[in-house]
Amino acid sequence: MSGAVARTTGRDLETRRQVIDAAIACILERGFYRASSNEIARRASMTWGVIQYHFGTREALMLAVLKDGADRFMDLLEDAHVTGATVEVRLDRLLDLLYEHYGRQEYLAWVQVLLNLHHDPNTSDEVRGTLAAVAAESTAHIRRLLGEVLGPEHEDSDVASTLFLVIRGFALSQQLLVSMAYDSIPPEADLIDVQRATLTKMLAPYLSTMCD
């Protein structure tokens, strides 16, 4: 009996993964509002009834998409540490770490879900509570990593938060350049690496005067 339960659970997890991946692909291609229930079901090669069985409503599915992204972020950050003898080395390692999340194509889908669920007046209180809990958990890890970059004696929260915004903004801007080729010429992969190194060299001297 226990083996049957395990196999059923495995199939359920596989189905949920398939639906979430289909929803992300649909959002990236069509946008949040055009990622309809029927289109997601078509991409997942199953009926909407099957999806409802696993997720319930479209809102619940979108929340599952967002939580999937948050879980990946937590897996990345939970045991991560930023070490190095200088601020420049630690900053470079933090940039690599955060870019692994914010530089993912899927992040654009997660952002769309977050913005729309947050601003939609019909979003339930339960979902809003989940959004807040997800944000709080990730914020705690980010603050810890920023503290490792800046040093234990540095307590300027404005510098820490600004540093995070710069890194996240840089990663997101690279994603937008690739996704919106009509707006500007997408950068080559090697140019992105050069720009990341340049960003580190620009920020490190300023931070070093306060931290080292």
Tokens of 93: 């390692």
Looking at CATH, the fold of the domain delimited by 62-211 is given as Tetracycline Repressor; domain 2 (1.10.357)
CA 137 to chain centre: 13
| DSSP string covering 62-120 | HHHHHHHHHHHHHHHHTT-----SSHHHHHHHHHHHHHHHHTSTHHHHHHHHHHHHHH-
Residues of the chain with CATH 1.10.357: 62-211
Distance CA 22, CA 184 (A): 28
Looking at CATH, the fold of the domain delimited by 1-56 is given as Arc Repressor Mutant, subunit A (1.10.10)
Residues of the chain with CATH 1.10.10.60: 1-56
Task: Spell out the per-residue pLDDT of the chain, length 212, in tens.
Answer: 444 333 447 888 899 999 999 999 999 999 999 999 999 999 999 999 999 999 999 999 999 999 999 999 999 999 999 999 999 999 999 999 999 999 888 999 999 999 998 888 888 888 889 888 888 888 889 999 999 998 865 667 788 889 999 999 988 887 777 665 555 555 565 677 888 889 999 998 888 887 65
Helices (H), the chain: 2-30, 37-44, 48-55, 58-77, 87-102, 106-119, 125-150, 157-179, 189-211
